[in-house]
Amino acid sequence: MGLDVVPVRRWLGRLPGDARTRAGALATAVAVVLAGSGLVAWSNAAAGQAASTYHHERQALNARLASDARLGYTNRDLAPITGRLRAMDATSPPWWIPGRPGYFDGLASQTAALQTRLRALERQILDRARSDAAREIDAARTEIGRDQQVGADDPDLQSLQQRLDAAAKADAGARTLRDYRNALQQAQGVVRDATALYDQTQQENQQVQQAAQQLLAQAGGNLAAIQQAGQQAIVAGRNDASVVAYMNVANPFPNDIVVARAASRLEHFAPLVGSGDVSQAALGTAGVERYAAQVHQAFIAGLPPKAVVVSFQAQHLWAYQGGQVVLDTPVTTGIRGVGDIGTDFGPMKVLFKSHPWTMHSPWPRGSPYWYPDTVVQWATFFTNTGESIHDAYWEPDSELGPGSQYDPSTRSHGCIHVPYADAQWMFNWAEVGMPVIVYPGDGSPVANQLAQITTDSQGRPKGIP
């Protein structure tokens, strides 16, 4: 905007000399004022337009920063951008109005440049997160492999593998920075725990090595003696672990995972026991003795206040109270697989007790399983099909024990025979609902003994409502 001074000059030309000089100065001042007013007006308009452009750019940048935060970008990630914005915000528009358009133009230009820089930064951070997640997943896979090589226990290996699979799945489905960092965090946890497991297992292996050296010295290098000790430990460890597995079918056993870990380690060393190399046999025996002891300790510690365990193989009964054996006695059970008779295997419980009790044959006369009405004095029932722990006056106590379950003259149809005094003790001691575990007890692996269960999870014989 300009000022037309021609009419003013014509007017000045008609004035006397002095007046003309004073009037000329006045006119010049007026012209300057009017010109300045026009410049200010123009500057204000230009500044407003520039400021509007800047605020538009700033809103777009702020919106993108907010979106990035929702996608998982942290304050630290975005610091190169937000730090520059804070520096820009710390400046003030110039007091000289004509300088303001350039000021806001500069801010708009810087903001547009920051948007470009932000897009590049986003790609860089996302690519790095993607790469970090993939690398850590590979590292976790490697660490689990190392754990397997040193014989880490199966429950922990399985847990680590499941977590690794979850991390790999999260990585495969990742789209945002938060997704990749979540996969990375999961994988880092697997690496950390897998490394700790490796260190722990290696330490245990060294301790087993030391125990093996001591065992060799104590046995004088006698291979047969070392192998015999190892086989006994294998049987004991597997049997204790099987009882826990049976109890865990009905109700969660408090130390189930501890037992499972120790049993897994026992199985790692078990094959070495039969080695013809005395050093390897000693290593295997030292290992199975160590972990059989751990299985037993966890088994005892996790028992309920009262429980009864019966081994079919040993034909023996143990009653536990407060983790202590309060009764152990030879027994006679029925044998599985002979028609529809036999003592059930499973996690059962005391249902009721009777003194005395008359046993009536469910089979008709003429059946090879028929028996006349028989009265027993102390019967503690653990199935709804009539199986109980009771005295058996027709079987001498001396005939109870291993092998009696196979003798047709002594074996039961399903009940468990015990000496008269023990039957009375059991009747008085047992509580309704107390666990009664009958299991193979043959020293085979836990999975094999579990497969022989003949009851459901409530202790009811399968197929019986």
Q: For residue 370, tell me if it sits in a domain.
A: yes
Task: Specify the CATH number for the domain of residue 346.
Answer: 2.40.440.10
pLDDT of the residue at 39: 54
198 and 68, same structural domain?
A: yes
Q: What is the pLDDT of residue 36?
A: 45
Question: Would residue 181 count as lying in a domain?
Answer: yes
Residues 279, 379, single domain; the answer is no
Residue 12, exposed/middle/buried by CB under 10 A (0-12, 13-18, 19+)?
A: middle
Whether 65 and 209 map to the same domain: the answer is: yes
Domain final position from 218, 242, 274:
218
Model pLDDT, residue 44: 79
Sheet harboring 435-439: ordered strands across?
A: 324-330, 316-321, 306-311, 435-439, 346-349
- Please check whether residue 31 lies inside any domain of the structure: no
Query: Last residue of a domain, which of 164, 195, 218?
Result: 218
H or E element in which residue 271 lies:
helix 256-273
pTM: 0.79
pLDDT at 340: 63
By residue range, what is the domain housing residue 113? 59-218
Is residue 111 domain-shared with residue 206, that is, in the same domain?
Answer: yes
Number of folded domains that form the chain: 3
Q: Is 84 found in the same domain as 96?
A: yes
**214 and 225, same domain (yes or no):** no
For Cα atoms 423, 424, 429, give the angle at the middle one, nearest 5 degrees: 100
What one-character DSSP code corresponds to residue 119? H
Helix, strand or coil, per DSSP, at residue 437? strand
Per-residue pLDDT tens digits of the chain, which is 465 residues long? 444 444 444 544 554 555 545 545 444 443 444 344 565 676 778 888 989 999 999 999 999 999 999 999 999 999 999 999 999 999 999 998 888 899 989 999 999 999 999 999 999 999 999 999 999 999 999 999 999 999 999 999 999 999 999 999 999 999 999 999 999 999 999 999 999 999 999 999 999 999 999 999 999 999 999 999 999 999 999 999 999 999 999 899 998 999 999 999 999 999 999 999 999 999 999 999 999 999 999 999 999 999 999 999 999 999 999 999 999 999 999 987 545 678 999 999 999 999 999 999 888 998 888 889 999 999 999 998 899 999 999 999 999 999 999 998 888 989 999 999 999 999 999 999 999 999 999 999 999 999 999 988 788 887 665
Q: Going by C-beta distance under 8 Å and a sequence separation of 6 or more, which residues neighbour residue 275?
A: 281, 284
Of 247, 256, 239, residue with least CA distance to 457: 247
pLDDT value for 83 = 96
Q: Which pLDDT value is given to residue 1?
A: 40
Residue 18, in any domain of the structure: no
